[in-house]
Structure 1
Amino acid sequence: EALEIRDTLKSLIKFNHLNLLGEWPMKGKFDVIFCRNVVIYFSKDTQRELFDRYASILEPNGYLFIGHSESLHGVSQRFESVGRTIYRKVK
């Protein structure tokens, strides 16, 4: 699966590879996070930790996009589902 970003938006977007369990170099808040097809490989405890970390760097009402085989159901209370793989931060 590939994404293509319009030239007018490229300066507003950052793509990074990082160790999700290590220190994150990102500073500030984000409107959207895409983290697809990754958390299914982690334990529920690690998933909770990651979703809490995502929530802490998202703006209020920011969005988290996850993979089709993933779910926050029973793992995080900090997001509400707004689509099959789209969640909005609520806490």
Structure 2
Amino acid sequence: MYCPKCHGGTRVPDSRTTAQGQTRRRKCLVCGYCFTTYERPKSLLDEKVLDTEKTKMIAHALIFEMERLSAELFKVFGEIQESGCTDNNTGIDL
């Protein structure tokens, strides 16, 4: 860790562990400036990994879009079949 004032190296004369995480008192080796750093453990609740309502909205939108695209594809395939087209390169009747 570097000093926020002069960007010199620092040492840790005091370090404490609390329920909230680690607290370190630091002192710059160049200018003597003292400051404190805090380290907090990450938890899944802090990151809001899953927002249920948002996930439901996205799932519903994707399902709706899939149904819409599926209907369009069936319509196009039906039109191709009605026209009697075949793919001569593959020999597949559409």
TM-score (norm 2): 0.19
Higher relative contact order (CA 8 A, sep 6+): 1
Which is helix-richer, 1 or 2? 2
The structure whose Rg is larger is 2
TM-score (norm 1): 0.20
